[in-house]
Structure 1
Amino acid sequence: MIEDAEHVPAYRTIRMSPPDAPVAALADLEAWQARNPYPDLRGADGPAFGIARESEEGGWRLEPHCGNSDPQDARDSMAGLFRRRAHEAEQAGDEERRQAFLAAADRLDWEEIDELTVAGTRYRVVRCERFIRTGPDGPEPPRTTDPDPSPAGLSYQEPDPADGFVLDPISVTGLSEGILKLELLGLVHPVGPIEQGIKEDAVRAVQTHPGGVLLPPVFMVAERTAFGWQPSLPALATSPQDARDSISFGLRVVDPVRRRLDPAQRAEYARAAQWLDDNRANDLDVAGRHLRVVRVERLIRIGPDGPEGPRSSDRSLQPPFKVHDQQLRAAGSIPEDEDENAPIVLGPDAEEMHQLMIKEQERRAAVAAKEQRRKKKQPPKRGGRK
């Protein structure tokens, strides 16, 4: 059945227009060209979950950190958000608002709740699907038009471009982005019999949340193995350099302990990390391993009532915080008379990794100081002719 275009809901509309700005036009062209070497779209390591709040003027806006791999982690984050809002209300002398946010946070400590209205505003745990393009060469690396502003070692200073992002399904997109959105909205992953519930949920979501919004891309690290490309680091990075910094951190801090490297191997890994810092490459070969920074597309589905929340098949690995604490105490994993002020005793591996982390923090602090000195020496930019 073909719907009358005049009666199609706004959230099902995809508005496309050629970009006016040169940078946007180049990004749109590069997105179209990526379809040739990387023609296949695949899911990327499962969905992610974040928090969105409904705006007074309509629509929804993302709160920071839309990258939890478990719905319960997002619920715990929402509880933390409410406690920060309660503190802000206390600072403003608004006791009623403070009590409302504290009560909501306490509920989330005990109950699995994906949506709450607090102080007149709706908050919701939202589901974000993640995809990568792949081809004969493997997964797609970052594009030249992907923002990548930070020097090596300083990507932690970057804001997440998705923080505060407005989920507006009818905003105008470039032609390539609009076509990508159309592809992703109709994509249902083939799954086996064991994951039948996941398949049913995916098919249902196409009907219940047929619209969608593309978020700014994120980046992950993958390693080529005998079984194909596998995620190497679980965290997603907000920029290509953020992903490179996570590789460097792994080579300098994690791998020497986890892989039990000898001094010669540690030196090889350290040289590889320095080469990556100096060259800002997206592919790295070290000790027979091949690592790549991979570009990840993100889509939040939209329905009549706003962004999609967790599906029934998105099961959490653990219950809410207070419930989990009770379970651990009942099982004897946490002694009832535990001294919260007792010093934490690290095992040999954890202690060695802690010392390597201190060295890495000192190294990055020196890089940051050097960058500040460089900026101070730069002459001020001259204005153009009037």
Structure 2
Amino acid sequence: MNDRLTTREAAELLGVKPATVYAYVSRGLLGSRRDPVGRGSTFDAAEVAALARRNRREAAAPSGELAVRTALTLIEPDRYWFRGVDAVELAGRYGYEEVAEWLWTGRLPRGTRFTAPPELLAAARRAVAALPDHSGPVDRLRVATAAAAVADPLRFDLSEESVLGAARGLIPTLVGSLPVLGTEPPAGGGEAGGHGLAGQLWPRLTGLPHDPSAVAVLDLALALLTDHDLAASTLAVRVAASSRSHPYACVSAGLGALEGPLHGGAGPLAHRMLLDVLERGGAAPVVADHLRTGRRVPGLGHRLYQGEDPRAGALFARLSALDAAAPALAAAREVVAVTARQGRGLHANVDLALAVLTVSYGMSAEAGETVFAVARTAGWIAHALEEYGERPLRMRPTGHYTGPRPPQPLP
């Protein structure tokens, strides 16, 4: 194959019309060079061949299914993996910030801590302080993200180094923008603060004193929730990144999808159900009420796991060592047992495990949603970085038009 191809040769290799070749050029998928001898353009043969292979792979995806290449998270029927490493084992040994770095870079810098840039944190706190008192946690995180973006003049730099720098500043900015309910730990994320970011998040979730064992469970929850393949919010992030939105805008897209009741909204339901079980002294009447009204029992079942969600199993194991978690943990296990007796075959998912933590330590029903959003921001950044390396605007499905056939009379 020659080093340069004519328009006709490129079109034949790609299996498209010559006009489509120029459309690829205008969309940034191909580079072109004017032919110094003829009047047309020439194209790099290797670049054309690579685009042809990519088009064939995407065309081979099952009909109606969007296939996205990713090297981040693999989910199997009973476990999941971060870059080929068992995610539960990784989260059990390393802190949230370290797991985030592994997901972003494939490296594990021990003891890494994220620090909020003062100008971003100040902007986020001012914006969040202006919200109504009834604002929810995702409301605050969305506003904090937008304010931090405006305060970062380098947000449009999509190089890996710049995006990672933004991520390491944004995540602690989100935590630092939330109102403090208890005693705020010392700044800097050292041992006095306890468990890095988890130690900073703890007093924003509960007014109870800093409990090192409970904060360690919170840190584990953050690490376990860092990523989970192409959940709805992550797909939204990749669509935004496909249009080359900056990382703050990508995170905003993820937060928007997360607030849906079928995604991030499941945690508060599980929290309220456990409180109801504890108040009524048993799970049977609570489960019966849910089934009688046609509602799903929250915190049970996951479409990607045949048995118990491995994230739930890891959290239950750690929570079982905490005396304060014993009543809520027993309530959760009773919910699972009652539904199992009915032959429903549903196992605990991570929402139920998070609810045990939030109920046990006097947190609000929305606390689990906060933990989820903060944790998943790291995964969203990882997916945005992957998408920046793909051809732009590839997340463009074709609509199947079902309206009236034209021409129709002008209204």
More strand by share: 1
TM-score normalized by the length of structure 1: 0.23
**Which of structures 1 and 2 has the larger relative contact order (alpha carbons within 8 angstroms, sep 6+)?**
1
Structure number with greater Rg is 2
More helix by share: 2
